[in-house]
Structure 1
């Protein structure tokens, strides 16, 4: 398996070095660089590509959300994982709309959880700190937009009981590995079920899947 390349973006030197020291212990992860501001991260990305950007939210010069938007314009293939102390709903939603693939709040994830999140977003998945997930669900419940009209939902192929279970766990912010452990099944089986869910609901992301949960016919 090829190594996952990382750029660490945080205005706190101690945080950057702490993350670098920890990630260097992982054989499958290599830290290529650091940036202390959003603007510096954008300039760094112009010169070098990475698989995953670990991005703080509040920084001088340009905040992490604005930097995420610019970085993805330059390197659309990059995956941004927000690492922050900010657990506000509006900040989470702004980050997701900017294109971030993950959002973890310090104090709400383990070192192992960070490694899993990096692998998840690097492979195209998404990861949200579980305590933050309900905020996203509340927004979806009250949103005026939906993935599909109710009439379209009624004509969709129904999910199996197992797929419903997995959809519920996705809504709680669970990654594929955690879902596999919870349901005592293989992670590969979880991925197959998620692909089936996406196909049946005609969607492409976990966020659309969560939106479906609160807009399906009862």
Structure 2
């Protein structure tokens, strides 16, 4: 089998692994499950119907697996571990390594997933192999710092009863983060939480 057909075969294997993980997942919502399965099916139909070069296939595969490239989570670790064990050569863009290098997460969705699944992630063999104990402590510190920074933004806006224009998007991210991570009750009373939502609504 030549290099191009081998890579096409590996893409098919990777999609099969994805679909198996997605079907069994308790972390991925139904709409995202449907979107992942449909998008990869369309891609496979496309490469079956057209003649692409090996370099084109490798380029397209980056978009094909963009969810797995840009997300952090238990299923993400399972996906890349399965690919590695099967010898499937699709390059990974590791967002946890990005966070460790830059001292921050690239997107709020990654911050949420890291915080919500911290204990599960850090107990996984793939994480323990890739990151030393010191690195895992640093990632935990990034998670904690992220929470504190978002809390400070919410507290300042609550005190001022408004959201500065330059912080509108960041404020919305903070609200989503606190809601998704169940942190409002930890730091705010029910009336303060309601007031934060009113401030957000009035800032639209």
TM-score, normalised via structure 2 length: 0.32
Higher RCO (C-alpha under 8 Å, 6+ residues apart): 2
Larger Rg: 1 or 2? 2
Higher strand share: 1
TM-score, normalised via structure 1 length: 0.31
Higher helix share: 2
